Structure 1
Amino acid sequence: MSSFSHLTHPEWTDRARGAFYGLALGDAYGMPTQSLSRERIAEQFGRIDKLESAFADQPIAPNLPAGSITDDTEQAVLVAELLVEGDGTIEPKAFAHALMEWEASMKARGSLDLLGPSTKQAIERIAAGENPLRTGRFGTTNGAAMRVTPVGIAFDLRQREAFIDAVLQSCVVTHHTTLGIASAAAVAAAVSAGVNGASLAAALEAGIDMAEQAASRGFWVAGGRIAPRLRHARELIRGCAEHDVAELIYDVIGTSVASQESVVATFALAFDAERRGGSIEAALGAAASLGGDTDTIAAMLGAILGACSGYDALPAGPVATIRRVNALDLDPLVDRLLGLRARTD
């Protein structure tokens, strides 16, 4: 695409690290506010402008320290590991087994942050002996989109069919639907475009285009389609006063786990960030202050913004915190994911 600059492989690495660490950073920003209303967040925190600890009665992440990641980052790491172990291919039964093992480990740690509704239903069907190629036929929530960033790092969206196939492999077990696949394709394409050197505006357009292209894959389900909703969000943000953006997203677009809400809300925040030209930290704070599925919205936003700006544009102090608190080192995975990407460069 003409809007992509030619990057050297070291520049790829900076963008890819920005995407993966941006995802983790957004996840940590949204951790203490997930599943809360805007009003409850304002009462407890005011406006989020830094990493915060979760309070004792947080419904999903009680008492977690500031900088803690959640299922968004952990499942993205799981996808990345499956991709590199499978040499660019995710085998459905292996994916299902990895998800079941992940949830068991979370339960063993006493975590309340377990599998989402679409993934949970799919795993139960697999455990009952159903074909993994059919278990995801009801999945319309944002679980596939939240963990798809490694696909955007490992695959170049300019290789369109291979790219969509890779997105599909990351969706098929749990979100094998038109909505699940299109929403994951939108996020993965925006990340992939960013790794290729796209501006934020161009990356968001690439995400809309790929959502359109991928919408024919998977089992059809009723619901407003992702690409038209993304275009509508772009127009809503263009016509919205800056101080009304959060209310518009919360009231009109929605911030639930439904992919038609949270993925569209993510893009709406990115459109607003592109318009304002503000810092990544401010954008993630806005996402964490929204209410609803804040950790997932902020994680997807962080991945897109980080891919388009690079690792060095992420706030150094908060990144150091998430690396320390979670003993998080994503660099070896980033290197291996880029090794997959380089084969088709």
Structure 2
Amino acid sequence: MTLTEKYLKAVAAQLPAAGREDVIAELRDALMSRMEDREAELGRPLTEAEEEAVLREMGHPLAVAARFGAGPHHVVGPELYPWWLFGVKTALTVLAVITVIGAVVRILVGDVEASQAFGQAIHGLLWSGMMIVGVATVAGFIIERMKDKPAFLTEWRARDLGLFEMGVFSSAWMAKATDMVGGERADGIKDPAPGRMSPTAGAVASGVAWGVFVLWWTGAIGREIRPGVIGGELMVDGVDWGLLVNETVAWIWWPLLAFGGARAAFHLMRAAMGAPVRFTAFGDVAFSIASLGFIGWFWLYSPMAPVIAVDTAQGFVDRVRLLWTTGEMVVPAVIMMVTAVAFIAEVFTLLGAAGRFVTGRDGRRHAG
């Protein structure tokens, strides 16, 4: 068997059966023509090395087969790549925030030393980051080979581009944060709805964030969060906070998993529907009620309730005063205040969502 025949067999092995013979016949003719031209230049038959040089000029069999083969010749093409990159950077940003928070919590509850916590966090961040990139690449591979392109590539709307105004890891995040607190943006751009994304873009961002949270909570990315795994002895003012955290996680692990999964699915669903006002408001009402129920349980019945709860407003004030004047009861006072603020914020969220559901109008939408 000549080198040319071996070359053609290698190309043929990479081609689909349909049309393979026609492609090989066309390629053989092209190769024979090149070799005849080279023989005419030299005035003699080609040596084996010269024949191989002609084959090398034609290209590697894998590359030649790809030129003749059907379908995309890339994993993620140039049209989809910006979406792939934006999604990866957004997910990595959320992952980084969750990982840092998790490391800080582990240090506070005495689970591990600071150096060990952050070392494990970095290791988990790298491993989970590779997983996110892998999943995004597989999704891109599938989308590239779909017969009909997804609607987000072809039917996007200008009013839903608020999310993309902020390049991930860019100074625009700081500009947006400045808008939220009523400051003046450094870039001088006026936003008709300061600090707010469009409804659909916000839904996508929330869906991704809650999805990453669910993966983190289940241990699919990062360190596993389960009873008996998290928590360690941490005695403060005679209270073992590590034990309380572990017991609390034992109570909330499955409910919080269901809550996070439901929120991720809800946000992605409303993004696909164009974020209709009443549907969004209905979901916000339901999730606010669930959140208020959780906060109430945490305050009254959780393993931490006997330590953090107070019976009266005066008791609340007295504990805050004790914290500021003596520095005592730091952990119970901080958790107490955070819980109270979360309760108040959730009440306002519930009232706002109920108002939007009744009126069918969303005052948070961009002007126009």
TM-score of Structure 1 vs Structure 2, range by shorter chain: under 0.3
TM value normalised by structure 2: 0.22
Give the structure with the higher percent helix: 2
- TM-score under structure 1 length normalisation: 0.23
Bigger relative CO (Cα 8 Å, ≥ 6 apart): 1
The structure having more radius of gyration, on CA atoms, is 2
